[in-house]
Amino acid sequence: MIEFEGVSKTYPDGTAAVDGLDLRIDSGSLTVFVGPSGCGKTTSMRMINRMVEPTAGRILMDGQDTAQIPTVKLRQSMGYVLQGAGLFPHRTAIDNVATTLRLAGASKADARRRAGDALRLVRLRPELDDRFPSQLSGGQQQRVGVARALVADPPVLLMDEPFSAVDPVVRAELQGELLRLRGTLSQTIVFVTHDIDEALLLGDRIVVFGPGGTVHQCAEPQTILERPADAFVAQMVGRDRGFRALGFHVEDLPVLPLGDPGADGALEVPGGSWRLTVDDAGRPLTWENGVTRTPAGDGHAAGSSLRSALDAALSSPAGTAAVVDDAGRVVGWLQRSAVLTALEAPAGRP
């Protein structure tokens, strides 16, 4: 657990970067610091590993004041991922990752073996291990940076806008990778971003910083969407926060069972003239009614969000969405009327 107790940072010219921060970050959680430039979010994160020393207050790590922990020991207990990866340009990908272990006293062979394991964890292809950073794409460099931070299995991982320097497609891919890794990692992660959408996607809890280094709200993403603490948070989240909130509601919507497929393998939609063709694996292909043929999309994954159900129902010309399992196979039908009824009173809404 990481605790901020009355932590402030004021620079010699009188600028207050952080003002009286009180915050608890639970072990094993992913907490996102979000806010506009110059609001103190990065300063707050860097005070955790003492890259910045607080002017007042204290930061506790599992109950111990970090000011009483030797700096080298403190930083060795934390992984750190920078914007733009920050790799050594004269070392290959695998040697960049192995450096952390070599500094901790591991043999060269052991360090390279463990570095290779870490690179596989972040899904960097083995043939890229011996390339230098200049020979890697921006997304590949970021994967190496994450592997380097994880290779020693530190209890805390600090991530300072790690995905902001790559293009939107790669950024979405890296965000997905971090969410996947969350299922296997035990680290406490502090993630800094200025992008509220990224914060809502990744965070277990979100800390919204405002000008002057003050915290306007600290809450779960759903709470911030539904009940912003003040006008600043509401503006930060945006006018479409109600629609965004649908992504956090996993609805128990009534799914109609499939009937027997026709001789051509197409599935008859209940109560209508539409049929759904599927491929050999049972995944949706096209909607057909004898006159019109329309691509079917991916369908609605069973048990996922109300937003997914709404997208699938509205995009279906049949007025009925195909419900699919984890492998993408059609397993049932979801009628548009059932989704619209759920929208009027979503489960769990205040």
User: Residue 132 above 50 pLDDT?
Assistant: yes
Task: Report phi then psi at 113, rounded to 5.
Answer: -65, -50
Three-class secondary structure of residue 294 per DSSP = strand
User: Residue 219 above 60 pLDDT?
Assistant: yes
- What's residue 251's pLDDT? 60
% of the chain beyond a pLDDT of 70: 93
- What's residue 129's pLDDT? 92
- What's residue 7's pLDDT? 94
The alpha helices in 182-327, defined as continuous H runs, are 196-202, 221-226, 231-237, 241-245, 306-315
The pLDDT tens digits of the residues spanning 46-84 come to 999 999 999 999 999 998 999 999 998 898 889 888 876
Average pLDDT, the chain: 85
Radius of gyration of the chain (CA): 24
The pLDDT tens digits of the residues spanning 253-312 come to 888 888 888 777 888 888 778 889 988 888 888 998 888 888 888 888 777 777 778 778
- What's residue 238's pLDDT? 72
- What's residue 138's pLDDT? 83
Q: List all residues 6 or more positions away from 187 whose beta carbon is below 8 Å from its beta carbon.
A: 28, 79, 150, 154, 155, 156, 157
- What's residue 30's pLDDT? 93
Buried b (16+ CB within 10 A) or exposed e, 268-293: bbeeeebbbbbeeebbbbebbeeeee
Domains and CATH numbers, the chain: 2-248 (3.40.50.300), 256-344 (no CATH)
Asked if 315 and 348 count as a contact pair (C-beta separation under 8 A), the reply is no
The alpha helices in 238-315, defined as continuous H runs, are 241-245, 306-315
Q: List all residues 6 or more positions away from 29 whose beta carbon is below 8 Å from its beta carbon.
A: 188, 189, 204, 205
The pLDDT tens digits of the residues spanning 160-200 come to 988 877 778 778 888 888 888 887 888 899 999 988 888 88
Asked if 339 and 306 count as a contact pair (C-beta separation under 8 A), the reply is yes
The pLDDT tens digits of the residues spanning 83-121 come to 766 788 899 999 999 988 888 788 889 999 999 998 998
User: Residue 241 above 60 pLDDT?
Assistant: no
User: Residue 222 above 90 pLDDT?
Assistant: no
pTM: 0.71
- What's residue 250's pLDDT? 56
Going 230 to 4 to 163 to 119, the CA torsion angle's sign is: negative
Q: List all residues 6 or more positions away from 287 whose beta carbon is below 8 Å from its beta carbon.
A: 274, 275, 276, 293, 294, 295, 296, 316, 317, 318
- What's residue 350's pLDDT? 41
End-to-end, the C-alpha distance of the chain in Å comes to 30
